Structure 1
């Protein structure tokens, strides 16, 4: 099952709507600025067209993918240099040289003319595989409102407690981890790996310097060879995650089994911001890595190495502590951060 949706939210609409003001609108402040933001619809913020789609020529693919890519050629035989290209996997590898292919209709044994060949190529290029967006919605996004509501209700029913039952804990952690890998820039561990493997000193090639001509890009946002290889690997990891395996799921399970979740409560005169990159890691004054994720304007969660794993610990923040975390969230955004109200005092004092 696949979706026809072209605009893929890296930060889900259902998550951003906790900050909505009016009918699915939020106030977005451009990165690096300190204004009160512009009113934007969540439908067209925090996403990229076809970000989790695959199409012909993609470095990462499966046999099922390539069968879909080359469905328009199912009644044809494809030849190159007088040899038959037998598999769709091989067709995908050699699609860059499509113009040199000889395409023969199986029924008439006729070689297609240039016009028909172009029609076939255009048909192949129009095919997008979008199963990742369907899997993400079915397994994670569709449950976020329930996670948020359940945790919020439990906190409200125990406002004086220092710890509460860890309701929806696994679901919260998996959503949070997947969101960090889903948004831009890349997950810190992944970025470090890409920079090592695709370092020009390692291969002698400046991958970021190899600009792909616009008409040859798999998608407009894949501007150079670094982007193309890196993004292809991210797509592979995300598919693995949706199958409950791989690097992303390993990270989620590690947090579930070993880390304490602390719920930070905003003071009465303050709220958390969020952004198009809402999972924030930073190094604190003690040299340790902190990890904060706003659940809604009044509750955020932190991940810590020491503490109970069967309860949520509760910490009521002072206004200064809230401002500290909001500044970190603000710095962590990719293109912009989100406020529920056009009142900076609520967020930054």
Structure 2
């Protein structure tokens, strides 16, 4: 995995929870797919609105940005938030004492900024208009190192990873094992995307629920956040805010090769076999806004399925011995493909994605 640089940044404000380069695997023309609401039964493929540009779906503005007041922070982050103080030569006093530590300033910004006394280079209090201008200047700073890290480490290589795997499959369709090309990149992309999408990944959800149980703050977390204290327009309660900040901290750990996301990737690489599914001719896999699907099968076993393209899906399997050098390759019948597609549809957050203007290749 490429080394993380904390100075990485991007001007992009639109963050795709499911990457554009992944969704293009289902495109029926340049960057367009059929995006279907999970509750929609009567699908009119002739309706132009049914076809969506991959750049405009499954995305949220500044989802992986950090702003002043963030619970997850570093000294480097906080120094960036309060660079305007240095730029203008301002100093801050709280309760009559000068405070220059950027972490302390960050922790008090949302609740106490109006109580700050801000002085210019001549030790004069700045005006209220100047103070409010300073507040907006600080709030406008976004740190987007995590989004750029995702781009450089995972998203930008996915097109080649997918194509290399498909090429190897197409060369070896008559065997049951093929070389495990790009295995580490496949697992890294798959696992990190499951944590990135909604609803919250099961490990994250369980960790969060245990934390709030230990702290005894369940009722507080349902309280709405006042508009003036919101860091993200898509977050409405304190619980959602805590969960999102925990997710950001886990991504920061991942890019520094530690933490639960990184550990899950390493566990799969070292302890699990990867099985690739090729659909019977005439049918295809769907994908969704939550592409990595965990579910309990008829034998009450947990299955883990990830569509790589309409013509290929990946399952993570327990096996002994673990074969790190090969993918196991199997062709699925139409009924098996349809069953998996139903499970993917059931597990999606808001919608699923087709590459053809018909349900026939995907569902009974």
**Aligned match of 2:61:** 49
Task: Return the match for 1:243 from 228, 241, 256.
Answer: 256
Q: Residue 3 in 1 paired to residue 16 in 2?
A: no
CA distance in 1, matches of 2:217, 2:60: 31
CA distance in 1, matches of 2:136, 2:90: 16
Q: Residue 198 in 1 paired to residue 205 in 2?
A: no
1:29–1:35 contact (8 Å) kept in structure 2? no
Q: Where do 1:35-184 residues align within 5 Å? A: 35-36=42-43, 38-74=50-86, 75-95=89-109, 96-105=111-120, 107-184=121-198
**TM-score of the aligned structures, taking structure 2 as reference length:** 0.93
5+ unaligned residues in a row in structure 2: which ranges? 1-7
Shift of 1:197: 2.0
Shift of 1:35: 4.2
Shift of 1:152: 0.3
**Aligned match of 1:16:** 23
CA distance in 2, matches of 1:142, 1:243: 18
CA distance in 2, matches of 1:210, 1:242: 32
**SS of corresponding position for 1:347:** coil
**TM-score of the aligned structures, taking structure 1 as reference length:** 0.97
Shift of 1:181: 0.6
CA distance in 1, matches of 2:295, 2:279: 19
1:207–1:224 contact (8 Å) kept in structure 2? no
1:198–1:207 contact (8 Å) kept in structure 2? no
Q: CA offsets per residue over residues 272-318 of structure 1, 9 Å max, x none? A: 00011000000111111000000000000000011533210011000
Rate the CA distance shift 1:254–1:73 in 2: closer, same or farther, 3 A: same
Cα RMSD, aligned residues only:
1.3
5+ unaligned residues in a row in structure 1: which ranges? none
**SS of corresponding position for 1:302:** strand
Shift of 1:171: 0.7
Shift of 1:214: 2.5
**SS of corresponding position for 2:172:** coil
Q: How many residues align?
A: 347
